[in-house]
Structure 1
Amino acid sequence: MLRRTGIPLLALAVFAGPALAGCGGGEPEESAADLLSRAKTTLDDASSAHFVLDSEGAPNSGTLLVGGEGDIARPASFEGTLNVRALGSTLDLEVVSVDGTVYAQLPFASGFSVVDPAQFGFGDPGALLDPDTGISQLLAEAENAELGEERRVDGDVVREVTAELPGDLVEQILASQDPSQAVQARFSIATETGELRRAELTGPFFTAEDDATYTVELSDFGADVEITAPPTG
């Protein structure tokens, strides 16, 4: 009996071995370029998103965008608060942007005024979701992309991707005092949804000689957001 059962057991081991080895391989890992491409598609498909902007390394002189928080909605709207450093102090400006017109409630003013955002050190925040001029362009133009660590952000698993960004592109979206210098980027992308959750950018944002860091965090993709132009007076 022992010798008879040994033959089928041996045959089972021989034929099952390759199948078991094949099952253990799993799916191939998504490349850095594929992950960036999926994050761009996800962001371009989102009708809205909430964003938080922070910075490190800003000097005390000049007029600079150092932070902010608000909602951006497609096709070209923004509503929130932007933190601008001017004359050594930080101003919290209530800002609304609709279809290319930017409104801000300036200090000591009772209502909103139409403004040129460049005078406060930033571009049109309503364009941040535009596929041709907004945040997703950073994903499309990333160079030398490499996969980084995997971690959790607010309970979601994200994969980091490090890359270099053209300085002139970053200047159009955020700022740069030397567009000829590349900007170092670290993206955190949710592996399940493809959502860009964080972009940490380091480059010559405030002075050409010194690097500083902008961090953009995105959440609430596709939330119901309604933004209208405020009355001016």
Structure 2
Amino acid sequence: MSARRILVAAVIAALSLITACGGGGSPGDQAALPGGAELVKKSAEAMRSVKSAAFTMETEGTPPVPVKKASGRLSGTGDADGTINIDLAGSLQEIQFVLIGETVHFKGVTGGFQKISRSQLASIYDPSAILNPDRGIVQLLSNALDPKTEAEEKVDGTGAYRVSATLSQQVLATMVPGLTQSVNGRLWIDRSTNRLLKADLPLNGGKVIVTFRDYDVPVQVTAPAE
């Protein structure tokens, strides 16, 4: 065989190898991902044992929800503290809250802390429901419909699986007050711990993004000075 034919044969062989390894990679990678139903089930089980967490809720655009931003710390016992930015008659108000037992301490931009009951806060926003296994994330994952694993990505440097699913309006409303319909959203589930890292919830006019971090970091919520 001439040198030219040897070279042509080598090039063809190399191209065939590249096609096999590169062009067919996407379907193979997709097949290698764990199933969506399996992931949300494992995540629900992992979230059931969570003892504490920190969270943020932010809006992009103008989704039709009154709470535009929230952040705080949550304990498994139901105590919590943080801030809520809420739209009150077209005016955005920031409220600090400390939730201990059945009492909520809260204050606006001016003035000191005042008190209301947990049930009164729940009519606006009850962040303590997020870790409640009968109301929050566990139920959101357990009731997710048609979950599909889309990709493997990182969330703030942590390896995660991105899963699309239809999420229940009734359960979502515990985390995002004001929702009136189920949402075709995306969930990011930690590859190592199976805990929920992020939820992206598209709505009319924008979206809501909820993120979680600092799982099982001890949280001590104390009442503000009178």
Report the TM-score range of the alignment, normalised by the length of the smaller protein. Answer: 0.7 to 0.9
Residue 52 of structure 1 corresponds to which residue in structure 2? 56
Q: Residue by residue, what CA displacement relative to the aligned partner does 1:72-117 show, whole Å, maximum 9, x if unpaired?
A: 0012111011111223332221111223433311343222322623
Residue 80 of structure 1 corresponds to which residue in structure 2? 82
- SS of 2:184 mapped into structure 1: strand
Residue 198 of structure 1 corresponds to which residue in structure 2? 198
Structure 1: tracts of 5 or more residues without a match: 1-24, 204-209
Q: CA deviation at 1:199?
A: 0.8
Letter in 1 for 2:39: L
Residue 39 of structure 1 corresponds to which residue in structure 2? 43
Q: CA deviation at 1:183?
A: 1.1
CA distance, structure 1, for counterparts of residue 125 and residue 102 of structure 2: 10
- Closer, same or farther: CA 72–159 of 1 in aligned 2, 3 Å: same
Give the fraction of aligned pairs with identical amino acids, expressed as a percent.
27
CA distance, structure 2, for counterparts of residue 199 and residue 125 of structure 1: 15
Structure 2: tracts of 5 or more residues without a match: 1-27
Q: Residue by residue, what CA displacement relative to the aligned partner does 1:164-206 show, whole Å, maximum 9, x if unpaired?
A: 022233234422453xx32112000111111211011223xxx
Is the CA contact 1:106–1:113 (under 8 Å) kept in the aligned structure 2?
A: no
Q: CA deviation at 1:118?
A: 5.5
Indicate the structure whose relative CO is greater, using CA pairs within 8 Å and at least 6 residues apart.
2
TM-score, normalised with respect to structure 2: 0.76
CA distance, structure 1, for counterparts of residue 175 and residue 72 of structure 2: 16
Letter in 2 for 1:146: K
TM-score, normalised with respect to structure 1: 0.74
Q: Residue by residue, what CA displacement relative to the aligned partner does 1:46-90 show, whole Å, maximum 9, x if unpaired?
A: 11001111012337xx98110111100012111011111223332
Q: Residue by residue, what CA displacement relative to the aligned partner does 1:98-143 show, whole Å, maximum 9, x if unpaired?
A: 2343331134322232262356xx3211221100011221111100
- Closer, same or farther: CA 158–50 of 1 in aligned 2, 3 Å: same
The aligned runs of 1:142-153 (5 Å cut-off) are 142-153=144-155
CA distance, structure 2, for counterparts of residue 74 and residue 118 of structure 1: 17
- SS of 1:38 mapped into structure 2: helix
Q: Which moved more, 1:102-111 or 1:42-51?
A: 102-111
Q: CA deviation at 1:162?
A: 0.4
- SS of 2:219 mapped into structure 1: coil
Residue 218 of structure 1 corresponds to which residue in structure 2? 212
CA distance, structure 2, for counterparts of residue 166 and residue 194 of structure 1: 20
- Closer, same or farther: CA 118–193 of 1 in aligned 2, 3 Å: closer
Q: CA deviation at 1:211?
A: 4.8
Residue 9 of structure 2 corresponds to which residue in structure 1? none
CA distance, structure 2, for counterparts of residue 174 and residue 137 of structure 1: 14
Letter in 1 for 2:197: R
